[in-house]
Structure 1
């Protein structure tokens, strides 16, 4: 049986703060903020079944040429070492964010 991850292991910054790159900040109070590389993202996160579930996610709707906005489809995440695997509503992995320094 796997031990349950605690919220502390998910809190913090994931991704890159470089322009045009996806980034999420999971805050201890259950809020999440970030960007898909173009649009700002915000919402709530909870720890469920050893992973993260995103709720009430909203984003701005700007068009940015040449930016892959895959992160706007995030519904859940699982930690794999120092990376966060991001999944859409169907449970399909849509991308990975490394732990930020």
Structure 2
């Protein structure tokens, strides 16, 4: 599991383009990100099968035309691939609601 933690932390998962969702994971078990409009903050834990999110706290701004699917996330699965991996984001029914590719280093970025 240490290897998976190393894969998760200090990277941005998702797009760095304005209006697009992304997540960042910190070694201390905190996460931060955006649904494309609102900032997200919360906690994460790692199991053998997935990354489980604690309750996500968000700002409540209205942004016309932004799909806020990331607000329904309760966990994610890391899927390794040639481009560095991706997270399949899951809802409470363990259904995939979106995919966040690993994109850029997230060192120093905070929520």
Provide the TM-score with structure 1 as the length reference.
0.90
Unaligned runs of 5+ in 1: none
- Asked if 1:90 corresponds to 2:88, the answer is no
Q: Match for residue 99 of structure 1?
A: 102
Q: Match for residue 69 of structure 2?
A: 70
Q: Secondary structure at the match of 2:12?
A: strand
Aligned-residue offset at 1:95: 0.1
Aligned residues: 98
Aligned-residue offset at 1:67: 0.6
- Where do 1:2-81 residues align within 5 Å? 4=1, 6-11=4-9, 12-81=11-80
Unaligned runs of 5+ in 2: 105-111
Taking the aligned partners of 1:84 and 1:94, their CA distance within structure 2 comes to 11
Tell me the C-alpha RMSD between the 2 structures. 1.2
Q: Match for residue 108 of structure 2?
A: none
Pick the structure with more strand per residue. Answer: 1
Runs of 4+ in 1 over 3 A off after TM superposition: none
